[in-house]
Amino acid sequence: GAGVSQSPSNKVTEKGKDVELRCDPISGHTALYWYRQSLGQGLEFLIYFQGNSAPDKSGLPSDRFSAERTGGSVSTLTIQRTQQEDSAVYLCASSPDGGSAGELFFGEGSRLTVL
């Protein structure tokens, strides 16, 4: 597709289970970002990839959170042993190499609900 694609769009899980969230960036975009957004709030930075490398993982809330990117394309955000406070919308964005910093193209997000 032409835009950033995220899956699943909705995920309901039980506390303690692991979840994987997937992001397919726009083809050719080298930078990829993950953000978390709680209801009605701004975006909390989680992690940034340039190619397959993550220069800054400091936004990840705990060691239960991890992310990887393969082939300079698809990225997966994994949350282990989910907790209720992990409930939020997880947004992925990409931007092209050479584009202006901050000009991001977002997916529609994955809404995670932890019961």
Partner 1 sequence: TQLLEQSPQFLSIQEGENLTVYCNSSSVFSSLQWYRQEPGEGPVLLVTVVTGGEVKKLKRLTFQFGDARKDSSLHITAAQTGDTGLYLCAGARYGTSYDKVIFGPGTSLSVIP
Residues of this chain that interact with partner 1 (CB under 8 A) are: 4, 31, 33, 35, 40-43, 45, 48, 50, 55-56, 91, 93, 95, 100-109
When the beta carbons of 5 and 76 are compared against partner 1, the nearer one is 5
In the complex, least distance from residue 60 CB atom to partner 1, rounded to whole angstroms = 13
Which of 98, 97, 51 shows the shortest CA–CA distance to 72? Answer: 51
Please identify, using beta-carbon distances, which residue of 2 and 14 lies nearer to partner 1.
Answer: 2
Whole-number minimum distance, CB 74 to partner 1, in Å? Answer: 17
Strand spans (E) along the chain? 5-7, 10-13, 19-24, 31-37, 43-50, 53-56, 65-69, 75-79, 88-95, 105-106, 110-114
**For residues 18 and 97, which CB has a smaller minimum distance to partner 1 in the complex?**
97
Q: How far is the CB of 47 from partner 1 (least distance, A)?
A: 10
User: Residue 26's Cα: distance from chain center in Å?
Assistant: 14
What one-character DSSP code corresponds to residue 85?
G
